[in-house]
Every structure is written in structure tokens, then in C-alpha cells.
Amino acid sequence: MWAAAPLLLLLLLLLLPLARLCRRGAARLEPAGRAVLITGCDSGFGHLLALRLHRLGFTVFAGCLCPGGDGARRLQREAGGAGRLRVLRLDVTRARDVRAAKELVLSHLPERGFWGLVNNAGISTFGETGWLPMETYEKFADVNLLGSIRTTLAFLPLLRKYKGRIVFMSSIIAYFTLGNGIYSMTKAAIEKFCDALRLEMKKFGVQVCIIQPGNYAPSTKIQPPVSAEEIWSELSEEEKAVYNKEYVQERANFFNSILSEGSTNGNEVVDAMVDALTSPAPKARYMVAKLKEKALVFVCALFPTVVMDSVLSYALSK
């Protein structure tokens, strides 16, 4: 059996593109009468996606952390008031909010049922490992990782029933880190959760897709500019004994320079999210990034760790 494995793998690699081409020739999904729930719609990708799906004809449930906030009110105005777009309170760290969201969706399901769940809500911050307290690690795990899992588990019965789609927001930062290891940690974990879920859901006709954006900080505002003074003021005395203000300032300047280079066109990522929800043959992963970002991922995935460490260490030294 194992002796034939390389031949079978080669055959599979040759047939997969043909199978995908045939499936892509099929008609795209008809959005009318299908519901999609999106988390994190106050701003950024979630906000843009909610409006795009609404224009396409989906019934959209837009989960917002602050349903009375500026972002949620703007979303309702831009969608033209009530109708197929409903804004709801959804803090993915609160099981009560998730249950209430499910009840709302069930009570307002359109004729074709529940089609998609987009786990978009997320937070980001900067800081070397010892600079951040345990409470911050717990918060990030709860929002970026457990929040997506919590919402997914609640809606799995509906997704299985209607053979729908689940879309997760990851990042190329799942492959490497440059000062935001806490964010990388949660994205790497969600990638593995999705890998397991994707295989398990195939037998139910449910497809699972991962979106991997590059640096889109200016278009999403997920990561505001870093203040060296604030970082220093929050460091423990033990960390202050190891680092100095100059080092913290250098790291903050480096990270801020990366943020400023990010893309301002969030619709590039939304295009991938829409394809994941509507294509007859969605990809398992959509990497939406600049060429140099993709090259960094390539090096990280295929080269020995020592090579990647050298590349990143060089970047940090600059």
C-alpha cells in the first residue's frame, strides 16, 4: 500500500486541477433567500462584507460588538435601513450572545435557509512575549480562537442541514511573527482547527474556507499605531530591568513602519470572502497578500526553521 502512495499522490495532483476546472464551470450560487451571519461587522472586512453580501441579495445578519455604535449605525444607513440586513449584538466571547444570535437567525430564516457563517471578529496588539500579561493572552485566545470555535459549534447543526459554508479569517501571520506573536499564535491555532473541521464536514457537504490576508492594517484599523510610552508604562519592573526605553522605541518604530506599508484596499480581501461563499468550487485557502509577503510565507513553509529565523532576525535588525 505505502509503496503505491507516491504514484497515487501524483495522480491526485494531476486530476485535482481538472476537477476544479469542471466545478468552476458550474453556475455560481444564487444568493436570494439564503442567510449569512458575519461576526465583527463594526468595521473593517466584516463591515465591507456585510454591505457587499447585502447588495448581492443575501439575507445578512451582521454581528457587532457595539450595535449602537457608529460602525453599526453606518452599516444600517449604507444598507438602506431594515430589510435583508439585520444588525445584532454579538460578542463572540459571550455564550449568551451567541445563543441569542442563533435564536434571531432561526426566527428570521429566509426560504432557502442558513447558508454561511463568517468568523471575522478579531483583535490585534504588539508586544514581545514577556511584555504582555497573562490576562492579555487569555483575552486574545477568547476572541480570536475560542470565539470562532464557540460561534461555529452553535451554528454547525444549521450548516449541516443546509450544506452551507464556513469562512474563517486567518492571516499570513499564522506562518511567522514580527513583534505580534500573540496574534500569530491565535491565527496558527485557528488554521489547525479549520483543517480538522474541513475534513470532518466534507461528508455533510459543508465547505470550510480560510482567508489569509497580508498587511491590511490601514484598511481595517485592527491594529492602531503603537505607542512606545504606553508600552513602557505597562511593563513590569522585571521587564524594565531587562529592556530600556530606547529598545522599546526602536521596536515600536519598526512595527509602526510595517503598519504604514499595509494596503488600504480592503475590498481585495472581501472579493476572496465572497468567492468562498458563492463559488461552486471554493478554495480551502485564499491568500490575499503582496508578492513579498507570499515569498516570506513560501520561505517559512518550505525552508528549514534556521533559514526563516535568519531572515526574520535580519529584518528585525534593520
Cell numbers 463591515 correspond to 47
First to last CA, the chain: 51
Pairwise CA distance, residues 164 & 300, whole Å? 33
CB 297, CB 178: distance < 8 Å: no
Phi, psi of 191 (to 5 degrees): -60, -45
* C-beta of residue 219 within 8 angstroms of C-beta of residue 178: no
Query: Can you tell me which residue has the cell 496574534?
Result: 183
Nearest CA-CA partner of 285 in 220, 195, 206: 195
- Determine which one of 162, 183, 216, 286 is catalytic: 183
Strands (E), 129-206: 165-169
- Burial class from Cβ neighbours inside 10 Å (0-12, 13-18, 19+) for residue 259 reads middle
And the C-alpha cell for 294? 507570499
254 CB-contact burial (10 Å; exposed 0-12 / middle 13-18 / buried 19+): middle
**The dihedral sign for the CA sequence 182, 185, 191, 196:** negative
The verdict on whether 243 is a catalytic residue reads no
Measured distance CA(232)–CA(105) in Å, rounded: 45
Residues with a catalytic annotation lie at: 183
